[in-house]
Amino acid sequence: MTQQTRIFSGIQPTNNLTVGNYLGAIKNWVSLQSQGQSNENQVENLFCIVDLHAITVPQDPTLLHKATLETAATYLASGINPKQSSIFIQSHVRAHTELAWLLSCMTPMGWLNRMTQFKDKAGKNREKAGLGLYAYPTLMAADILLYQTTHVPVGDDQKQHVEMTRDLAQSFNHHYNEDTFTIPEPVIQGEAKRIMSLRDGTKKMSKSDPSGFSRIHLTDSPEDIAQKIKKAKTDLAPLPDSIVELEDRPEAKNLITLYAAFQNMTIDSALKNVAGQNFASFKPQLTEVIISALTPIRENIATYMNDQSELMDILNNGSEKASHIAEKTINDVKETMGFVKENN
Ligand code: TYM
């Protein structure tokens, strides 16, 4: 990594987080955090709970409140260390909404029309979808650009949004002929770039899928995990010994991906352990692997949620540090755009 690496990423506090969020995002944040520690150059990590994104679809206030704190607890429980990374709530740093407005005036509607996540989420109800859901990629661009982010570790589904962020930053810099924004790179790594639904291997595992059996939450009990894996869709063939033979077996590929990713293995080396087995013998092993990885995380989340004073201290500290960086960017952007500075 180059000098002054700055890593930013976030998760929406909607419902409990899934193993998709963990393997596709948080687990990679933890490894980037430790790589940063061993790097002589300065690496700064910012991990945000993006509550302003959550309200792009209707939320119950009590559930939003709980999910916001639980998402923060999950970052910590999974190994994000507040001494090495700032953890903060998006709505605590007002510059996010301010920059989002400034950038929205420069975002062509044609770009937003191409965003697949809007099409998926709005579905047939396009006319009734809120403006926020449509404008969401601009808020995400503001999140990233506010911190002069160099690297954005995300799952595969967010790639298009990070690419739009790059386009917006380039277009702003070009329009004002200044290097106001750093151009961020998406970081999409590991075997679990896109974990699929346990009910349908062609659909992404999602916090908002109507079927609870489609996903495993990080707070699921061992019994729930065992039951969900037992019911997970599979096919009749035994497991092969190479990944190419899984190409047209999406459910089998997804389960072996979970098995590999939770053990930090490549899919090919995981297949060497289980090739030739059928699902009746593979599923209990997968269940064990998931339960042993998630049990300490679930217990740590409960500890942070039972006494929230430590959690709140960490979040306050995080937003203070984040605000410091954000204020500088927003002031620079406004000056570049020609806004008159307050005189105080
Ligand atoms: P969200 O909340 O949907 O998901 C959070 C992170 O989890 C990843 N992810 C997955 N990875 C693999 N398999 C899956 N099934 C899976 N489901 C989710 C996502 O790719 C993401 O990395 N727009 C973002 C949140 C956001 C953000 C940002 C991210 C807002 N501002 C700035 C990075 C930088 C979102 O809705 O993620």
Beta bridge partners of 6: 44
Answer yes or no: 231 catalytic: no
- Site to probe by mutation for ligand 1, drawn from 45, 55, 68, 157 as the one with most ligand atoms within 8 Å of Cβ, is 157
Report how far apart the first and last C-alpha atoms of the chain are (Å, whole number): 40
The structural domains of the chain, ordered by start, are 5-187+308-337 (3.40.50.620), 212-303 (1.10.240.10)
**Best of 158, 194, 215, 253 to mutate for ligand 1, by most ligand atoms within 8 A of CB?**
158
Residue 159 annotated as catalytic:
no
Query: Strands 185-187 and 151-153, how do they pair?
Result: parallel
Distance 195 CA to ligand 1 centre (A): 12
Among 66, 203, 207, 253, the one annotated catalytic: 207
CB of residue 144 inside a 6 A radius of ligand 1: yes
The alpha helices in the chain, defined as continuous H runs, are 19-21, 27-37, 51-54, 61-77, 95-104, 109-113, 116-122, 131-145, 159-176, 222-231, 250-262, 267-274, 279-306, 308-337
What φ, ψ does residue 164 adopt, rounded to 5°?
Answer: -65, -35
User: Counting atoms of ligand 1 from 1, which one is nearest the CA of 14?
Assistant: 2
Closest by CA to 310, choosing from 76, 41, 31, is 76
Q: pTM for the full model?
A: 0.96
**Per-residue pLDDT in tens (0 to 9) along the chain, 344 residues:** 445 899 999 999 998 899 999 999 999 999 999 998 887 778 999 999 999 999 999 999 999 999 999 999 999 999 999 999 999 999 999 999 999 999 999 999 999 999 998 888 888 888 889 999 999 999 999 999 999 999 999 999 999 999 999 999 999 999 999 999 999 999 999 989 999 999 999 999 999 899 999 999 999 999 999 999 999 999 999 999 999 999 999 999 999 999 999 999 999 999 999 999 999 999 999 999 999 999 999 999 999 999 999 999 999 999 999 999 999 999 999 999 999 998 76
